[in-house]
Amino acid sequence: MEGLLNNWRRTNYAKNITPKLTGEEIIIMGWVHEIRDLGGIIFILVRDTTGMIQITAPSKKVDPKILEELRKFRKESVVAIKGTVQESNKAPNNVEIIPQEINILSLANQPLPMDPTEKVKAEIDTRLDSRFLDLRKSNISAIFKIKSQMLHTVRDFFYKNGFLEISTPKLVASATEGGTELFPITYFEKEAFLGQSPQLYKQIMMSSGVDKVFEIGQIFRAEEHDTLRHLNEAISIDAEASFMDGNDMMKVLNNMIEQVIIDINEYCKEELELLDHKLPIPDKPFPKITYDEAVDIINSKGIEMEWGEDLSRAAEKALGNTMDDFYFLTEWPSHVKPFYVMPCAHDPTKSHAFDLMYKNLELSSGATRVHQYNILVEQIKERDLNPDAFNSYLKAFEYGMPPHAGWGVGADRLTMVLTGVNNIRETVLFPRDRHRLTP
């Protein structure tokens, strides 16, 4: 049957084929990126996950049957080529392959839904509709190589700092934070929801005697946003730790972000170059400003904001233009934060809540949590929620709950910062927003 590998196996990736291999017989496999048939000679660029390699087929050196097979190639077809390495100053990596055998593994239909060579630019919706082609572009795949490294570093960071990785349910019986921003689903004879956050489960784990936990997983928000920074399904990096407060966990978050940036600069140099993005390594702890100070700054920039309001988009931009790249925004008003956030003892209208911002983009929210049962029940009632809906959660607070704190980081928003892209859809393989449910 045509198109099978049979005994064919790749011996080299494009990136590793250098003049040192001159004269050696190799097998490369990949996608046909470009074809130039000049009559007496055929040039073909083959692309794999590491880069490009040039196939050069002069009619005087190559069997006519091979030339005939090469002329059957179509752009973006998958091919395997056995040939000899030859030095060439005009080819990628200063080498070319003189073909000896050809195996067409999969012919691509024509015309293509979009052009992966980017000679013809495509709008974001066209690209997302044909994401498999979009990802063949080196600058797009670079985003996900950086994201992969980020998640790798995050896991390593947590393991090295004594955190236990957990996995919590994504089908839940009630809202994590109250409100209506939930996706309801039918769960046998009951109504259930897609989880907004692992928050309640992280806190239950603090009662289990496991001091520090983290989770990297999906969260779902039924918000009707249609912006460059919101999605309805996202990846959240969550952490919770006992016998720590918000200040302790801000240090943990600061150190994690710093390690991510260090590792990406070390391991993703080529990807950063492809994206033309520089990622300075922070040389000092992220600055902190209080909510009160932020309100003053925002008003001084001509954006009206009253104390107690959440930050509007205009307010975020005004503040971001004033602050360093990364900064913490602390002491939020209690009433704008969830019921599980600890109020300040000196002024209960303020809370031990913080956000990590990057310029005008919110990356993380965290806080010292309420660990006292009575205060927690009171705050649930103050937000017009029913404590009975949180019975399984509240039970953990009746039998010995230590003081604790934690945060959640939007992994996709963090990827925006790490790659320099300005649309969060660029950072997700198959994004889900209010308009997009496929592919």
Q: What is the mean pLDDT of residues 361-375?
A: 98
Residue 87 shares a structural domain with residue 157:
no
Q: How high is the pLDDT of residue 119?
A: 82
Query: Residue 392 is inside which H or E element, if any?
Result: helix 391-394
Query: Residue 407 is inside which H or E element, if any?
Result: strand 404-410
Total of domains in the chain: 2
Residue 331 shares a structural domain with residue 197:
yes
Residue that terminates a domain, selected from 106, 123, 149: 106
List the domain range (segments joined by +) for residue 74: 14-106
Cβ atoms 234, 411 nearer than 8 A: yes
Query: pTM to 2 decimals?
Result: 0.94
Q: Give the span between the Cα atoms of 318 and 207, in whole angstroms.
A: 41
Residue 420 lies in a domain: yes
For tokens 């080819």, what's the residue?
91
pLDDT at 364 over 90: yes
User: Per residue in 135-169, pLDDT tens?
Assistant: 999 999 999 999 999 999 999 999 999 999 999 99
Q: How high is the pLDDT of residue 177?
A: 64
Under 8 Å CB-to-CB from 81, ≥6 apart: which residues? 27, 28, 29, 46, 55, 97, 99, 101, 102, 103
User: Per residue in 113-144, pLDDT tens?
Assistant: 999 987 888 999 999 999 999 999 999 999 99
Residue that terminates a domain, selected from 106, 125, 157: 106
Residue 170 shares a structural domain with residue 239:
yes
- Which conformational region is residue 322 in: left (phi greater than 0), alpha (psi within -120 to 50 degrees), or beta? alpha
Residue 53 shares a structural domain with residue 166:
no
The two tokens of residue 58 are 């002069």
* DSSP symbols for 147-214: HHHHHHHHHHHHHHTTPEE----SEESS-SS-SS---EEEETTEEEEE-S-SHHHHHHHHTTT--EEE
Residue 279 lies in a domain: yes
Residue 74 shares a structural domain with residue 138:
no
The bridge status of strand 95-106 relative to strand 51-58 is parallel
Mean pLDDT of the chain: 95
Lowest mean pLDDT among 173-177, 244-248, 314-318: 173-177
Residue 160 shares a structural domain with residue 31:
no
Residue 210 shares a structural domain with residue 146:
yes
Q: Give the span between the Cα atoms of 300 and 302, in whole angstroms.
A: 5
Q: How high is the pLDDT of residue 118?
A: 79
Which CATH number belongs to the domain containing residue 376 in this structure? 3.30.930.10
Residue 296 lies in a domain: no
Residue 360 shares a structural domain with residue 399:
yes
Return the DSSP state at 92: G
Residue 209 lies in a domain: yes
Q: How high is the pLDDT of residue 225?
A: 87
Under 8 Å CB-to-CB from 342, ≥6 apart: which residues? 246, 351, 352, 367, 368, 369, 370
Q: How confident is the model at residue 179 (pLDDT cuts 50, 70, 90)?
A: low
3-state secondary structure (DSSP) of residue 399: coil
Residue that terminates a domain, selected from 91, 106, 121: 106
Residue 123 lies in a domain: no
Residue 280 lies in a domain: yes
Residue 78 shares a structural domain with residue 159:
no
- Which conformational region is residue 331 in: left (phi greater than 0), alpha (psi within -120 to 50 degrees), or beta? left
Residue 23 shares a structural domain with residue 77:
yes
348 vs 3, which has greater pLDDT? Answer: 348
Cβ atoms 433, 423 nearer than 8 A: no
Residue 137 lies in a domain: yes
Crossing angle for the helix pair 411-419 and 246-267, to the nearest 10 degrees: 50
User: Per residue in 396-415, pLDDT tens?
Assistant: 999 999 999 999 999 999 99
Q: What is the mean pLDDT of residues 409-425?
A: 98
Residue 332 shares a structural domain with residue 373:
yes
User: Per residue in 221-269, pLDDT tens?
Assistant: 998 888 999 999 999 999 999 999 999 999 999 999 999 999 999 999 9
Residue 436 lies in a domain: no
Residue 164 shares a structural domain with residue 281:
yes
Q: What is the mean pLDDT of residues 188-207?
A: 95
Lowest mean pLDDT among 17-21, 176-180, 264-268, 352-356: 176-180
